[in-house]
Amino acid sequence: MSAEDRLLAIRDEIAPRAPGMIVTIYGDLVMPNGGVLGMSALIGLCSKLGFSETLVRTAVSRLVAAGRLQGVRQGRKSYYRLTAAAEEEFMAVACQLHGPMEPPSGWAIHMAPSLPEPIARENHFSRLSGDLFLSPDRGHFPKDVELSFTVGAISDTTQLPALARSLWPVDELADGYAAMINRFLPLRDRAASLPAEEALLARLLLVHAYRTLLLRDPQLPADGLPSDWPGGEARGLFEEMHSHLSTAAKPAVKLCFSDVAEPA
């Protein structure tokens, strides 16, 4: 299968929605390159990913209404940049994508009767019973947590994978990582030699696929994961391919910002 056909197959399998892909474009492409992208360039890029102009304009309008993007004009041209709040959030995601993966030091149990459900989900807290939650121990916890205990000893660590599977979507994430590997592995050896435009599209699809999984992954301690956990392999593939694709995509990236003169 040619690289172009492989990219089309990946796009169809991932089936990204326009707002999510635009978020990926701004996080991976726009933010590191000045933070501003012209609407015409965004429409052109999204068209290569299978989105119509109408879909793109509708998605951008919704992202503006949600406080994620803000529009600026330069003459008759429209540009969009991330809002300050969205940029801060995107920086945190970028650290997860490209920073060192620090494994948790173990497990923690929390008593948190007033912990809002969205905060629990965001921090990958899973309810054990009543007001008791279990989470990976990263040494920092939400302010809504009243009391936390670091787990110092575990009677039978062989039971942890089954417990983790009952509390977090471990099997679903494993399937997702395995599918990502199967989709992108055939492109790995060709990543550095792809034409610039194909390299950019491949990079965006790669980031979108991996980011979607990573943000749902609680990053559990190793003793809570199955022995064949594919998360590490997926991470290695992502890092290797993103580096090669970024180098190959440079001319296409430059073209995306050719009409940007930093609007006021």
Mean pLDDT, the chain, as a whole number? 92
What pLDDT does residue 76 have? 80
Tell me which DSSP letter residue 29 carries.
I
What pLDDT does residue 142 have? 81
Question: Are 119 and 199 in the same domain?
Answer: no
- 261 lies in a domain? no
Residue 74 to residue 79: CA distance in whole angstroms: 8
Say what percent of the chain tops pLDDT 90: 76
Question: Are 217 and 132 in the same domain?
Answer: no
- Among 49, 53, 54, residue whose Cα is nearest residue 20: 49
Question: Are 144 and 188 in the same domain?
Answer: no
Which segment of 171-185, 202-216, 249-263 scores lowest on mean pLDDT? Answer: 249-263
Residue 87 to residue 70: CA distance in whole angstroms: 11
Residue 8 to residue 44: CA distance in whole angstroms: 16
pLDDT at 115 over 90: no
- 38 lies in a domain? yes
Higher pLDDT, 235 or 152: 235
- 262 lies in a domain? no
**For the chain, how many structural domains are there in total?**
2
Question: Are 205 and 96 in the same domain?
Answer: yes
Mean pLDDT, residues 233-259 taken together: 95
- 85 lies in a domain? yes
Contact 124, 135 (CB under 8 A): yes
pLDDT at 127 over 90: yes
Query: Residue 225 — very low, low, confident or very high, per pLDDT cuts 50/70/90?
Result: very high
- 70 lies in a domain? yes
- 52 lies in a domain? yes
Higher pLDDT, 256 or 143: 256
Question: Are 208 and 86 in the same domain?
Answer: yes
Domain at 231, CATH number: 1.10.10.10
What pLDDT does residue 261 have? 60
pTM for this predicted structure: 0.92
* Among candidate residues 161, 182, 205, the one where a domain is terminated: 161
Which residues, including other chains, have CB under 8 Å from residue 249's CB and lie 6 or more apart? Answer: 196, 197, 199, 200, 203
Which residues, including other chains, have CB under 8 Å from residue 208's CB and lie 6 or more apart? Answer: 14, 16, 20, 21, 24
Question: Are 53 and 154 in the same domain?
Answer: no
What pLDDT does residue 264 have? 37
Mean pLDDT, residues 103-131 taken together: 91
Q: Which helix (H) or strand (E) holds 22?
A: helix 18-25
Report angle CA 144, 147, 152 to the nearest 5 degrees.
130
Question: Are 153 and 210 in the same domain?
Answer: no
- 264 lies in a domain? no
Residue 204 to residue 129: CA distance in whole angstroms: 40
* Among candidate residues 117, 141, 161, the one where a domain is terminated: 161
Question: Are 187 and 157 in the same domain?
Answer: no
Q: What is the pLDDT of residues 10-68, one digit of tens each?
A: 999 998 999 999 999 999 999 999 999 999 999 999 999 999 999 999 999 999 999 99
* Among candidate residues 125, 143, 161, the one where a domain is terminated: 161
Question: Are 71 and 22 in the same domain?
Answer: yes
Question: Are 151 and 186 in the same domain?
Answer: no
Question: Are 125 and 181 in the same domain?
Answer: no
158: number of Cβ within 10 Å: 8
Residue 228 to residue 173: CA distance in whole angstroms: 12
- 126 lies in a domain? yes
Torsion of CA 93, 99, 103, 107, to 10 degrees: -30
Question: Are 210 and 151 in the same domain?
Answer: no
Residue 174 to residue 169: CA distance in whole angstroms: 9
| Residue 136 domain boundaries | 106-161
